């Protein structure tokens, strides 16, 4: 693994999303990017629109699920795709900015629709090398 990045992992008929980074916030940003990449290539999404997201949860792992579900909700209700995220976390409160643009069939090759983030394979932890990892399975 590199210092910062995201990846997908297999989980039956669903897809696992994992983000890692030097900070807790970076791991959440990368997990959000992994989620966005399930739907479309985030590299093709221009940062034309900004959406604010706020969540509060009793634990960091639940906070991750809440963030991902808020992103899924925004994609479903507004028709937006996202390619960039900025996250700040204070205890168990999260504020995020998701940047993207409306889906454009001529530019975006949509893959699958994500129904929701689940508690399956859910974990948020600091690794032995000091990096953070945030992951869960999303229902597709």
Beta partners for 117? 138
The closest alpha carbon to 96, from 64, 120, 61, belongs to 64
* pLDDT tens digits for range 18-39: 999 999 999 999 999 999 999 9
The residue extents of the domains of the chain are 9-103+111-139
* pLDDT tens digits for range 53-83: 999 999 999 999 999 999 999 999 999 999 9
Q: Confidence class of residue 10 from pLDDT cuts 50, 70 and 90? A: confident
Instruction: Locate 60 and state its tokens.
Output: 């960091």
Exposure string for 44-59, b = 16+ CB within 10 A, e = fewer: ebeeeeebebebeeee
Q: Confidence class of residue 1 from pLDDT cuts 50, 70 and 90? A: very low
| Cα gap 88→79, rounded to integer Å | 25
Superfamily (CATH) of domain 9-103+111-139: Archease domain (3.55.10.10)
Instruction: Locate 34 and state its tokens.
Output: 């992994």
CB count within 10 Å of CB 91 equals: 8
pTM of the model: 0.94
Q: Confidence class of residue 2 from pLDDT cuts 50, 70 and 90? A: low
Sign of CA dihedral 31, 36, 41, 43: negative
């Amino acid at each position: 693994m590199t210092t910062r990045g995201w990846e997908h992992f297999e989980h039956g008929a669903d897809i696992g999303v994992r983000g890692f980074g030097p900070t807790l916030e970076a791991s959440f940003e990368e997990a959000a990017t992994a989620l966005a990449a399930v739907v479309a290539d985030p590299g093709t999404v221009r940062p034309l629109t900004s959406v604010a997201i706020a969540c509060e949860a009793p634990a960091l792992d639940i906070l991750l699920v809440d963030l991902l579900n808020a992103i899924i909700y925004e994609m479903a209700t507004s028709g937006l795709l996202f390619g960039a995220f900025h996250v700040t976390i204070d205890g168990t409160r999260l504020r995020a900015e998701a940047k993207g643009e409306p889906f454009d069939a001529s530019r975006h090759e949509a893959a699958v629709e994500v129904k929701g983030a689940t508690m399956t394979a859910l974990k948020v932890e600091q690794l032995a090398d000091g990096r953070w990892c945030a992951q869960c399975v999303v229902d597709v």
